[in-house]
């Protein structure tokens, strides 16, 4: 299983949606951390994403990172491979899954 | 255990009282007709009073517990409501003078609000009043989406338009309306 801790591997203060809007954006996270793990379409290794340890997430960050990923690789693939963990904000995994499921509507 | 012990103690006290009364009669202080009852009648009265006091104590304890429980739940709802208000106020500040620090402050407040919501929902679940959990979660997510979805985090005016402000107001009012209904339901 691949493991990504957003606070340790990316930033403890994630930014907003696009790279043009400032550092540590959702787009930057998707391109630098998630895309490389999804490039190989045959790879089905689960990816555990630890969401704890950050100051807070903007909807725009989460939607761009995970909703954007679902738009590229499909909702089913993302739902199957991504496992979210958050002890600090138990509502977050549900929120992100909502962005993934609704990604096609964007 | 404590209740049983109290009841026994009360029963003993009553019997002691009866004994004292008999002694008083024996010494001729009260007329014998005053105690012209069979022992079984006195025992009946003693048991009845003991039971009445015991049942009252149990009911009072239950009522107090129920009242404290409601106070705790109402406290959690108020705390969550306060957290929502802080997000709303903070967003108003951000619209007046948008900057990245203020945007981060809103995100920090959202994290606290989300925690507060989780605590509230878990307390509601404990007392068996969690039938509107989904509604509260959706209301909160709508407010979060309205305040922190794009465009957000930009430090140049205008950061919002009227449609977006309407969306935020609607989400905020809906969330509070549900909380008031939840609070009222506690006292029904």
Contact criterion met (CB < 8 Å) for A59 and B104: no
Q: Give the per-residue pLDDT at B34.
A: 62
Chain B residues touching residue A98 (CB < 8 angstroms) = 141
CA distance A103 to A73: 11
CA distance A90 to A6: 16
ipTM of this complex prediction, to 2 decimal places? 0.91
**For residues B39-69, b (16+ Cβ closer than 10 Å) or e, as one string?**
eeebeeebeeebeeebeeeeeeeeeeeeeee
pLDDT for B2 beyond 60: yes
Q: Give the per-residue pLDDT at B41.
A: 73
B153: distance to nearest CA of chain A, Å?
6
User: Predicted confidence band at B24 (pLDDT cuts at 50, 70, 90)?
Assistant: low
Residue identified by tokens 């739902």 is A79
Q: Give the per-residue pLDDT at A23.
A: 92
Q: How does pLDDT run across A54-86, given as a tens digit for each residue?
A: 999 999 999 999 999 999 999 999 999 999 999
CA distance B137 to A62: 17
Cβ A61 vs Cβ A15: under 8 Å: yes
Task: Using an 8 Å CB-CB cutoff, list residues of chain A that contact chain B.
Answer: 13, 15-18, 21-22, 55-60, 63, 88-92, 94-95, 98
The minimal CB distance from B107 to the residues A17, A56, A88 is found for A56
Q: Give the per-residue pLDDT at B141.
A: 95
The count of C-alpha atoms lying within 13 angstroms of the C-alpha of A25, restricted to the half-sphere facing its C-beta, is 21
Residue range B132-161: mean pLDDT, rounded: 86
Q: Give the per-residue pLDDT at A57.
A: 96
Task: Using an 8 Å CB-CB cutoff, list residues of chain B that contact chain A.
Answer: 100, 103-104, 106-111, 114-115, 117-118, 137, 140-141, 144-145, 147-150, 152-154
Residues 6+ apart with CB under 8 A from B5: none
| Positive/negative CA dihedral, A5, A22, A58, B113 | positive
Q: Which residue of B135, B144, B168 is the best one to mutate when testing the A interface, meaning the one whose CB has the most A CBs within 10 A?
A: B144
| Average pLDDT along chain B | 86
Q: Give the per-residue pLDDT at B161.
A: 82
User: Predicted confidence band at B5 (pLDDT cuts at 50, 70, 90)?
Assistant: confident
The minimal CB distance from A59 to the residues B100, B115, B145 is found for B145
Chain B residues touching residue A63 (CB < 8 angstroms) = 149
The minimal CB distance from B111 to the residues A59, A63, A89 is found for A89
Q: How does pLDDT run across B72-129, given as a tens digit for each residue?
A: 999 999 999 999 999 999 999 988 888 888 999 999 999 999 999 999 999 999 988 8
Contact criterion met (CB < 8 Å) for B111 and A21: no
């Amino acid at each position: 299983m691949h493991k990504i801790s957003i606070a340790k591997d990316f930033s403890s203060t994630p930014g907003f949606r696009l790279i043009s809007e400032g550092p540590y954006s959702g787009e930057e996270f998707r391109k630098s951390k998630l895309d490389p793990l999804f490039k190989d379409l045959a790879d089905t290794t689960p990816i555990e994403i630890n969401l704890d340890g950050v100051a807070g997430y903007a909807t725009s960050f989460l939607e761009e990172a995970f909703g954007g990923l679902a738009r590229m690789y499909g909702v089913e693939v993302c739902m199957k491979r991504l496992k979210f963990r958050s002890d600090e904000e138990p509502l977050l995994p549900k929120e992100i899954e909502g962005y993934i499921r609704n990604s096609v509507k964007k | 255990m404590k209740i049983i012990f109290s009841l026994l103690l009360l029963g003993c006290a009553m019997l002691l009282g009866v004994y004292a009364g008999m002694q008083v009669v024996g010494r001729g202080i009260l007329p014998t007709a005053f105690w012209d009852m069979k022992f079984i009648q006195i025992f009946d009265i003693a048991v009845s009073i003991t039971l009445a006091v015991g049942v009252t104590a149990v009911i009072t304890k239950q009522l107090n517990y129920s009242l404290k429980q409601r106070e705790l739940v109402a406290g959690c709802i108020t705390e969550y409501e306060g957290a929502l208000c802080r997000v709303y106020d903070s967003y108003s500040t951000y619209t007046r003078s948008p900057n990245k620090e203020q945007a981060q402050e809103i995100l920090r407040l959202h994290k606290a609000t989300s925690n507060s919501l989780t605590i509230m929902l878990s307390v509601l679940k404990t007392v068996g009043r969690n039938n509107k959990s989904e509604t509260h979660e959706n209301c909160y997510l709508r407010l979060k989406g309205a305040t922190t979805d794009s465009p957000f985090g930009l430090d140049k005016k205008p950061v919002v338009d009227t449609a977006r402000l309407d969306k935020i107001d609607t989400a905020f009012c809906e969330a509070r309306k549900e909380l008031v209904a939840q609070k009222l339901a506690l006292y029904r």
